[in-house]
């Protein structure tokens, strides 16, 4: 099993919306991918609860895939690529890690 974690820092405003509005919209769009991309074994999106610490990221995606091939298929899926283009307009920073669950 492969765990794929991605974190984003969002801009204070983008595309005519506030950070809070964009966080909610981005979460909905990401969760919808679970129904579109069969390779996703599990997927969750959470928001930072400590807005006081500006070092924290705002948004985290935690997902799992059976194999690295499934992760690669997900990353190259047209719906995921469209989400990537969408979120690139909203974010300031991105960090990610992929690792194998033992």
pLDDT for 14 beyond 80: yes
pLDDT of residue 52: 80
Mean pLDDT of all residues in 5-30: 97
Q: Which domain holds residue 11?
A: 2-100
The 10s digit of each residue's pLDDT in 29-75 is 999 999 999 999 999 999 999 778 889 999 999 999 999 999 999 99
Placement of tokens 């983008």 in the chain:
14
- Residue 13: which CATH number? 3.30.70.100
CA dihedral 102, 66, 99, 85 (to 10 degrees): -160
pLDDT of residue 7: 98
* Total structural domains within the chain: 1
pTM of the model: 0.91
């Amino acid at each position: 099993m492969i765990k794929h974690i991605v974190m984003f820092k969002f801009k204070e405003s983008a595309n005519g919306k506030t950070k809070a509005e964009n966080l909610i919209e981005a979460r909905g769009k990401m969760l919808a991918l679970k129904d579109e991309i069969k390779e996703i074994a599990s997927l969750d999106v959470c928001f930072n609860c400590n807005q006081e610490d500006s070092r924290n990221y705002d948004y985290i995606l935690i997902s799992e895939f059976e194999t690295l091939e499934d992760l690669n298929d997900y990353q190259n899926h047209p719906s995921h690529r469209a989400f990537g283009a969408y979120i690139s307009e909203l974010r300031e920073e991105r960090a990610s890690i992929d690792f194998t669950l033992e």
